């Protein structure tokens, strides 16, 4: 009987593919939008996940999330170090700075690119038209004509734009230990992998030095050395790093709070929710790159010590001691990450917007699959009636319909999740780093999608089963 059910299912290929496409669309949309939502939430706590080596984040007790900056007095640092169970504690500055710089993109390109590449760029610039897309073309139909409504210049490639004022995320790490800085190894090569593209962390000890993340460097120096957000560099890894190194050596200085800052390195940092460049420097220097205030200490990073038996004291125990003895807030890295995510989930409209999209995907998938499956069952109603006339029970008939629903559900789920996963891989660069599109698929999302597809299949089957159960076998013998 199961074989008959499968033969009936694939007998009409148009309807069979229609049901599978509906379920594939639902599975792909739920997985894709869920992955983008998870990726976006992870970017809200990018600094928490990027900083490794510390067990605890100590902060003002009223801090709600990582970007809720409430500076403390620096005398809180020795107070935290004096708490029993704290192995070490170091300061960390995190805030927003303003970078000002003036440069000529063409002059920077001459120092960075080979001559043939420069010539290709010049030819391409001559042939390129004003930037546009389908939406701007539709807008041109209703927009007034004239210079005021013309397409604005493409900032990234305009040789005339030489003044840049960009807000940056300024991270000041401990001067001695550099806890809070990205791992010092190179991104590529045979050495132990780190997060540095050019330079090393020791370069931060040079006067007025800063390290900028690779994506942020493109924003600070538009049109100079990096490619489009979704495009990989055309050359090999070694040639790309060599080009980055030449660029860093030729970068003009940056002005931050009327002070000189020199780029000495390029690192890879997790993209943030604000998409601002991330600038690393020493804690003492970070205080000079922003307007002076009485309170400058943003966070204290701490690690827990071992007890008498040599076992590591649980961070939650030490966090409770710090809160009790100093009155400051203290959270483990994991707890601080989830607190930040919860803030965005509760106080922003992001979950509602993504929830509506996922619900629409679920609704459309249910409508397409349910309607097609119902029509499929109705068109095979005489076959089901023949089986009942030959002695097949209602339970057996229902089992056949559920088997058909399970088969199309499994196929639709597999194709949908596979397409969504392939889309996720395509959003990564060739080193496996996320690009402009935030995309992260946790394993919990896969069973969630499976449960949604099962619900759709069961719902579609119930509508069809009712008609079959009420079916009279005598219908087969009517003309």
**Is the pLDDT higher at 63 or at 479?**
63
- What count of other Cβ atoms lies within 10 Å of the Cβ of residue 22? 24
Residue 159's pLDDT is 55
Residue 153 in this model has a pLDDT that exceeds 70: no
Cα–Cα dist 302/316, whole Å: 12
Cα–Cα dist 385/245, whole Å: 76
State phi, psi for 222 to the nearest 5 degrees.
-65, 140
Residue 229's pLDDT is 46
Residue 368's pLDDT is 75
Tell me if 287 sits within 8 A of 172, measured CB to CB: yes
Residue 123's pLDDT is 74
To the nearest 5 percent, what fractions of the chain are helix, strand and coil? 50, 15, 35
Ranges of each domain in the chain = 1-46+349-477, 91-127+152-292
Residue 299 in this model has a pLDDT that exceeds 90: yes
Residue among 198, 204, 187 nearest 280 (CA):
204
Cα–Cα dist 99/76, whole Å: 30
Which range is most confident: 144-148, 189-193, 280-284, 354-358?
280-284
Q: For 161-174, give the DSSP string.
A: --EEEEEEEEEEE-
Average of pLDDT values for 79-97?
Answer: 93
Which range is most confident: 181-190, 244-253, 311-320, 435-444?
311-320
pLDDT tens-digit series, residues 302-338: 999 988 888 889 999 999 999 999 999 999 999 999 9
Cα–Cα dist 36/410, whole Å: 23
Q: How far is CA 457 from CA 10, 284, 453, in A?
A: 17, 61, 6
- What count of other Cβ atoms lies within 10 Å of the Cβ of residue 2? 12
Torsion of CA 44, 272, 94, 172, to 10 degrees: 140
Compute the C-alpha angle 434/94/349, nearest 5°.
60
pLDDT tens-digit series, residues 212-263: 998 888 888 876 655 554 456 777 888 888 888 888 888 888 999 889 999 9
Average of pLDDT values for 49-68?
Answer: 90
Residue 301's pLDDT is 95
Residue among 273, 24, 57 nearest 180 (CA):
57
Residue among 317, 341, 313, 370 nearest 438 (CA):
341
Cα–Cα dist 190/196, whole Å: 14
Average of pLDDT values for 157-165?
Answer: 65
> Which of 46-50, 335-339, 397-401 is the least confident region?
397-401
> Which of 75-84, 126-135, 440-449 is the least confident region?
126-135
> Which of 105-109, 159-163, 207-211, 461-465 is the least confident region?
159-163
Confidence of residue 75 (pLDDT cuts 50, 70, 90): very high
Percentage of the chain exceeding pLDDT 90: 26
Residue among 38, 31, 83 nearest 58 (CA):
83
Q: How far is CA 375 from CA 20, 391, 476, in A?
A: 14, 24, 18
Average of pLDDT values for 279-301?
Answer: 91
Residue 63 in this model has a pLDDT that exceeds 80: yes
Mean pLDDT value across the chain: 83
The token duo for 251 is 């970068």
> Which of 68-72, 97-101, 219-223 is the least confident region?
219-223
Residue 130 in this model has a pLDDT that exceeds 70: no
Which residues lie across from 181 on neighbouring strands? none
Helix (H, G, I), strand (E, B) or coil at 416: helix
The token duo for 337 is 């990450």
Cα–Cα dist 107/250, whole Å: 10
């Amino acid at each position: 009987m199961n074989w008959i059910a499968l033969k009936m299912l694939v007998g009409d290929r148009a309807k069979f593919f229609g049901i599978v496409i509906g379920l594939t669309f639902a599975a792909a949309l739920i997985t894709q939008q869920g992955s983008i939502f998870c990726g976006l939430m992870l970017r809200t706590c990018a600094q928490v996940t990027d900083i490794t080596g510390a067990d605890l984040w100590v902060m003002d007790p009223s801090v709600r999330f990582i970007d809720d900056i409430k500076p403390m007095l620096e005398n809180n640092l020795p107070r935290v170090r004096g708490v029993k169970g704290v192995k070490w504690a170091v300061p960390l500055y995190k805030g927003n700075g303003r970078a000002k710089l003036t440069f000529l993109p063409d002059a920077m390109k001459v120092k960075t690119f080979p001559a043939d590449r420069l010539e290709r760029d010049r030819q391409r610039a001559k042939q390129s038209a004003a930037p546009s897309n389908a939406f701007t073309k539709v807008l041109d139909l209703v927009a007034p004509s004239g210079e005021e409504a013309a397409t604005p210049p493409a900032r990234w490639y305009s040789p005339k734009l030489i003044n840049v004022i960009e807000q940056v995320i300024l991270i000041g790490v401990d001067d001695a230990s550099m806890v809070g800085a990205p791992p010092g190894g190179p991104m590529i090569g045979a050495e132990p992998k780190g997060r540095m593209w050019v330079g090393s962390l020791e370069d931060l000890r040079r006067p007025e030095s800063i390290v900028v993340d690779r994506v942020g460097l493109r924003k600070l120096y538009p049109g100079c050395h990096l490619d489009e957000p979704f495009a990989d560099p055309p050359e090999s890894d070694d040639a790309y790093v060599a080009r980055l190194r030449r660029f860093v050596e030729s970068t003009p200085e940056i002005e931050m709070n009327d002070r000189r800052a020199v780029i000495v390195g390029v690192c890879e940092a997790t993209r943030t929710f604000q998409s601002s460049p991330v600038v690393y420097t020493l804690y003492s220097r970070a205080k000079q790159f922003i307007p002076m205030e009485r309170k400058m200490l943003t966070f204290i990073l701490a690690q827990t010590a071992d007890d008498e038996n040599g076992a590591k004291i649980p961070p939650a125990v030490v966090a409770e001691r710090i809160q009790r003895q100093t009155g400051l807030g203290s959270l483990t890295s994991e707890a601080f990450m989830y607190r930040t995510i919860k803030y965005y989930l509760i106080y922003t409209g992001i979950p509602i917007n993504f929830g509506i999209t996922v619900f629409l995907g679920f609704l459309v998938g249910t409508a397409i699959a349910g309607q097609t499956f119902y029509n499929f069952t109705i068109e095979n109603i005489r076959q089901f009636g023949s089986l009942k006339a030959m002695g097949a029970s209602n339970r057996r008939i229902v089992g056949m319909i559920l088997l058909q629903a399970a088969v199309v559900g499994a196929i639709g789920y597999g194709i949908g999740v596979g397409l969504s996963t392939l889309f996720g891989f395509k959003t990564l660069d060739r080193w496996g780093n996320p690009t402009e599109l935030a995309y992260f698929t946790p394993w919990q999302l896969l069973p969630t999608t499976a449960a949604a597809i099962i619900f759709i299949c069961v719902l579609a089957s119930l509508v069809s089963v009712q008609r079959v159960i009420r079916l009279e076998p005598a219908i087969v013998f009517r003309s």
